[in-house]
Every structure is written in C-alpha cells, then in structure tokens.
Amino acid sequence: MRQFEKPIIVSSKCIEFEPCRYNALIISSKVVENLKEYAIFRPVCPEVEIGLGIPRDPVRLVRDKENTSLLQPSTGSDLTSKMNDFSNEFLTNLKDVDGFILKNRSPSCGIKNVKRYYGLENAGAVRDGVGLFAQMVINKFPYLPLEDEGRLRNLIIRENFLTKIFTLADFRKIKIEGSFHDMIEFHTRNKLLLLAFNQEIARKMGKLLSDGKLSLDGVKNDYGKLLVHLLSKDPHVSSNINVLMHALGYFSKKLSSAEKSFFLDNLEKYREGRIPLLVNINLIKSWILRFDVEYLDKQTFFQPYPENLMQITFIYDKMG
C-alpha cells in the first residue's frame, strides 16, 4: 500500500479551525475536516493578524480607478497597507508549503469573485475582485495549488487539487533528503501522472534526469521548478483518456470484448462529463490486481492521494 507524505497547507483559520470570521462563526468544510488526518495545516486569519477583533465590523474592497483598497466602512479605516505588510511578511517567511485553501469571496482571502465596491457607503459593487492576502499568495506562489473551500465541493476541482498537493509533498521529501536514485524512482512511479498533466514538460523532466550535467542539488532544483510548472494547470480530459487507453493496452488481449466495450463506454461518459475520472481509474485498478501488472500497480496516476479522501459528491456542484 502506498505511503503518503503529508502535504503542508496554508488555510484560512475560519475554515474548520477557529470561529474567527467577522461574525464570530466558523466555516464548515468536509474537505478540510477530512484532510486534517492526512495533511499539516498552517491556519491563519489575516484580518485578526492585523489587529481586527472577533467579532468585528466588516471590511470591504473598494475600487478607485486602477487601485483596490481594503477599507472598513464603520470606521473609515484604510487597512490596505497593514494587510499588504502582514501578507508579505507571513508569506515570505513560509519555509515549506504545498498548497493553499482560502475562504471564498472574502475581502482578504477570496481567490476570485470577491465584491469590489465603488465606495464606502451605499455603493454598487462588481464581483471581479481578489482578496489582498490571496493576491499576495498568487504573486509569491504563482504555480502552487490554490483553491477555496467553495470550489473544493466540485469533484473534478477537488480531484485535481488533491493530486497536486500530494505529488508536491512527495517530491518535497525527496528534495530534502533524497538521493539521485530516489529522484529516478519518483519520476518512474509518477510517469503516467506527469504525462497526463503535460507531455512536453514531463519529457523535459525525464531528459534532465538522464543528462548527468548537473549536481544532485542542481537536478533537484531544476526538476522541482518543472514539476510545479507542470502541476500549475489541470490535465485535459483528453490527456487522461490517453493515459487510460495506454493502460488498457496492458490488458487488451486478456479482456473479453464485453469488458473492453464497457470500459470504452465509460471513457466516453467521462469525456462528456457524466462520470468522474475515478470511475475509470477504479476499473483499471481492478484489472491491475486481477492480472498482477506490477508496473501499473506502482503508478501514482491510479492512486494519487489517500483513498479515504475520495468523497462521493455530485460532479456538477457549484464552483463558487
């Protein structure tokens, strides 16, 4: 059974950790609750960190031509500099991190669709903003996985996020203490997963390991940069299908025509968005066990994160 390194996740403290929202409430998230057993969390509430109490009068993003400010209507306080200074210091001092889960639509932590108002009082708003803390995360960690608890209710978004953070955590351990042999082993067991995300970058990563021109530290550094770049985008459905078809080739002469037809029908359902990737992965996994295919059994593509995190939810949950 695969052993998973614990990802390090920075999260909004109000999500399943402390009742520190402006209204002194705590936000429920099944994803974060389940992840606590398998990840190391570094919860933070930027608004509390800059001196605002619990409960507190709400703050809002206010747009002014090309600038966005963080203001508190009840006091007229401009908190923009305080928030930017805290965010910069906190994120600059992060030693290790594999991903972020932030509070959706928050003026400090929202990653998208945050209300930006035209003024302090009785002003209209547009949902085109990004929270100031979240914007600093994007600026400093542009390639790391970043989601909010609302979007993680969506099955496909959650599958991709979990795959990314556990892959990065696995590599982080190797980067700290692994040998060149460990690097080769990492690339080998992740080969299909890397190809599903980006074939061009995956080939560059393989070439880097075979060139022999850099020191071990140099290889780790360059390989790590390629890895976070590769994982910065979600895999295309067609790429996942190509990997699944490649895996099917290991069994094609051993399966009945009815079994192959059933699998191909499920691939089409996945292509059309009617079933999740996990359904097809589990079919392949059943054949891996049945025919004892060692190479595929070691591929992380077929179990990129712990089974207990594979929640069953409606594939078309709203993304927030």
Same-domain check for residues 125 and 253: no
Is residue 105 domain-shared with residue 185, that is, in the same domain? no
Q: Is residue 118 part of a domain?
A: yes
Instruction: Give pLDDT, residue 319.
Output: 44
Residues 139 and 228 in one domain: no
Domain shared by 166 and 315, yes or no? yes
**Domain around 69:** 8-153
Q: Among residues 23, 21, 82, which one has the least CA distance to residue 50?
A: 82
pLDDT of residue 317: 45
**Is residue 55 assigned to a domain?**
yes
Number of domains in the chain: 2
Asked if residue 115 and residue 52 are part of one domain, the reply reads: yes
- The DSSP code sequence of 235-288 is PPHHHHHHHHHHHHTTTTTTS-HHHHHHHHHHHHHHHTTSS-HHHHHHHHHHHH
138 and 166 share one domain: no
What is the rounded CA–CA span in Å between residue 272 and residue 262?
A: 16
Residue 208, domain member (yes or no): yes
| 142 and 25 in a common domain | yes
Decide which of 90, 123, 153 is a domain's last residue: 153
The reported pTM is 0.93
User: Is 1 inside any structural domain?
Assistant: no
Distances (CA, A) of 138 to 64, 70, 101, 111: 21, 17, 12, 9
| Residue 149 sits in the same domain as residue 159 | no
pLDDT tens digits along 104-142 = 999 999 999 999 999 887 789 999 999 999 999 999 999
pLDDT tens-digit profile of 208-255?
A: 999 888 899 999 999 999 999 999 999 999 999 999 999 999 998 999
Around Cβ 219, how many Cβ atoms within 10 Å? 17
221 in helix, strand or coil?
A: helix
Domain closes at, from 118, 153, 188: 153
Q: For the residues 186-202, what does the mean pLDDT come to? A: 97
**24 and 109 share one domain:** yes
- Tokens for 6? 């614990």
What local confidence, expressed as pLDDT, does residue 314 receive? Answer: 45
Do residues 145 and 190 share a domain? no
Choosing from 136, 153, 170, the residue where a domain stops is 153
- pLDDT band at residue 66, thresholds of 50, 70 and 90? confident
Please check whether residue 3 lies inside any domain of the structure.
no
pLDDT reported for residue 80: 98
pLDDT the model gives residue 236 = 94
